[in-house]
Every structure is written in structure tokens, then in C-alpha cells.
Amino acid sequence: MEAIRTENLSKIYRQGLRQQKVLAVNDLNLTVSEGEIFGFLGPNGAGKSTTIKILCDLIRPTGGKATIKGRDVRQPEARRPMGYLPENPSYYAFLSGWELLEFHGTIHGVSKSQIRERGMALLEMLDMTEAAHRPLRTYSKGMIQRLGIATSLIHDPLVIIFDEPMSGLDPVGRKLVKDLMLHLRAQGKTIFFSTHILHDVEIICDRIGIITRGELKFSGDLTDVISDSFSSYEVVFRNPEPHQVQSLQQEKFSLRTYEDRVELEVDKEKLSEFLETCVKIGLEPYTIDPKRFELEDFFMGFISE
């Protein structure tokens, strides 16, 4: 059974005095399998948060339906195994982080001892132990985000839905959250999350979906999108001498010249010939990188359509 499924899901908002229609989600058919990490990608205003809010039954669709583990999301039972991190978490400012965890654990029916055990483990994993007893009004944006993630997991949910979990996090925080997500997958949990950080998606996702203007443009395995194979190298030289640049041009390499560097692409099979030329003219490459087709190239292909 799929962990998450949407069938012809649509949402039209009504906006302003004239009740103008905004088609935020258009006939969306999406499936997320159990035990996978699914990255939901799309530009600003594409309909990601709208889809997520429908999954959590915070708003109702104008067409179609959504299920969690086969149950319609409108049934409270469907939402019981779900953990949710909103796009802009906002909590009672006068509670401490620990009190918020206790509050969420309690309303989910988690026992005191389990809240203590799980809460401490989550705070530890998110490096929030020290700040746990301070009031939330003293937290930074990244600290609220980390606590929001811990809070969404306090009842040990099976299906985890994060709306931009990396938002506002520093590189260390992002790494902690990625590790936590991988840890959750290893426990058999399903994670569905939206993000704009494609590099993180490349590292942790099993499958991705791309949505633009409310329509799902792609859904599939990440390995089908990016591959390890490559056919050329991207070479960069820092501050080459004019005569060295001339020599490269004479060898028919087509160069891109910038103020402080020169870049060029070299076919895979021509690399040794190219390096010989470099030695001959006394020019040392600054970097030589395999030119791979990356998620960004794939993503941009849909956005620029």
C-alpha cells in the first residue's frame, strides 16, 4: 500500500473582493511508497504547501482526494500516524522548547516516560539540548525550525511530512536534519518533504516530484534523473598568461574567458591530449571536474518551459 496518494487533487483559492480564482493545484496524481524519502520540488507559488496542507487536512481540496496509508485524509484516523512540520512554524512564545515537546506529545497520547526518552533523543540529534529550557521567544529562526522538527516527531509518526525542513538552517543544522531523515528511513518511516535545496535532494531522496503552476510535471526515481556517467570534463584555469590562452585557442579548444579565469569543456577521450598541451605550454589547470547532468539541469528544464 502507498503511504501517500493523491487522486486528481485540485485546489482553487478565491482571492480578494471579487473572489478571483487561483488554481493552486491542478489534477495532481501523486504516489509516495512506504519507506521512501520523496522530495517535492517546484518554484515559489507552484502549489507545494497547498498540497501538503491538504494532506494534513488543514485545507480542503476543491476536487479529487488524498489518502494516507489508504485512508482519506479527512478522517482523523488517517492523520494519527502522521508527523507534520509547517512551512513557517509558529508556537506559543512563552513556553520553553521542552514544554512544547511535552504539550505535543501529550495531545498525541504519548506517555510521560516516552516523551522524556524520545524528546531527549530528538533534542540531542538536533543539537538543541542546551536551549531546551529557554522560552521560545528567545529562540532564533533556525532554533525554532529545529524544535519544530523535533515536535513533529515526538509521537514517532510513520508518515512524516515536512514543508521545507531546511529553511533557515545553517550548514551544520542542515546536515543534522539530513542525517535524521536518513535515520528515520532506516527505521522504515516514509518522508515526504518540499524543498528548494536541490543538492540536499540529490543526497537523500529516493524519488522526486516536480510541480509547476499546480501541475505535476515529473515523478520518478532520482537515479533515472541523475547518473554517474559523464562524457566531458569542465576545466578551469586561474589567471593564465595571454600567450597560454592563445596557444589553447590555436589547439582549437573553445574557451570562455572571464576576468580572473578561463573555462573550457574537454571531451572525455581528449583529456590526455589536452593535458599534454597544458604541459607543453606550462599551464596548470586549477580544477578538472566531470561534467555530469545534475538535478539542477533537469529541474531548470521544467521551470523554463
Ligand X SMILES: Nc1ncnc2c1ncn2[C@@H]1O[C@H](COP(=O)(O)OP(=O)(O)OP(=O)(O)O)[C@@H](O)[C@H]1O
Least separation in angstroms between residue 75's CB and Mg ion is: 25
Window of 47-55, 134-142, 145-153, 272-280 that interacts with ligand X by CB under 6 A? 47-55
Minimum CB separation from ligand X for residue 47, in Å? 4
Radius of gyration of the chain (CA): 24
Tally Cβ neighbours within 10 Å of residue 36.
Answer: 18
Q: How far apart are CA 207 and CA 224, in angstroms?
A: 9
Determine, following the binding rule CB under 6 A, whether residue 209 of this chain makes contact with ligand X.
no
Which of 197, 195, 192 is CA-nearest to residue 181? Answer: 192
Contact call for residue 195 and Mg ion (CB under 5 A): no
Q: How far is the CB of 12 from ligand X (least distance, A)?
A: 9
The site partner of 42 among Mg ion, ligand X, none (C-beta below 5 to 8 Å per kind) is: ligand X
Q: How far is the CB of 225 from ligand X (least distance, A)?
A: 20
Candidate residues 6, 10, 26, 49; the one interacting with Mg ion per rule CB under 5 A: 49
Site for ligand X in 15-34 (CB under 6 A): 15, 22, 24
Q: Does 118 bind ligand X (CB under 6 A)?
A: no
Alpha helices in the chain (DSSP H): 48-55, 76-79, 97-107, 112-125, 141-152, 171-186, 198-204, 222-225, 242-250, 271-281, 295-303
- Site size with Mg ion, rule: CB under 5 A: 3
How many Å apart are CA 142 and CA 160, to the nearest integer?
A: 20
Stretch binding ligand X (CB under 6 A), from 48-56, 105-113, 172-180, 227-235: 48-56
Residues facing residue 125 across a β-bridge: none
In whole angstroms, how close is the CB of 305 to ligand X at the nearest point?
16
> Measured between alpha carbons, how far is 164 from 84 in angstroms, rounded to an integer?
11
Residues that bind ligand X (CB under 6 A): 13, 15, 22, 24, 42, 44-50, 87
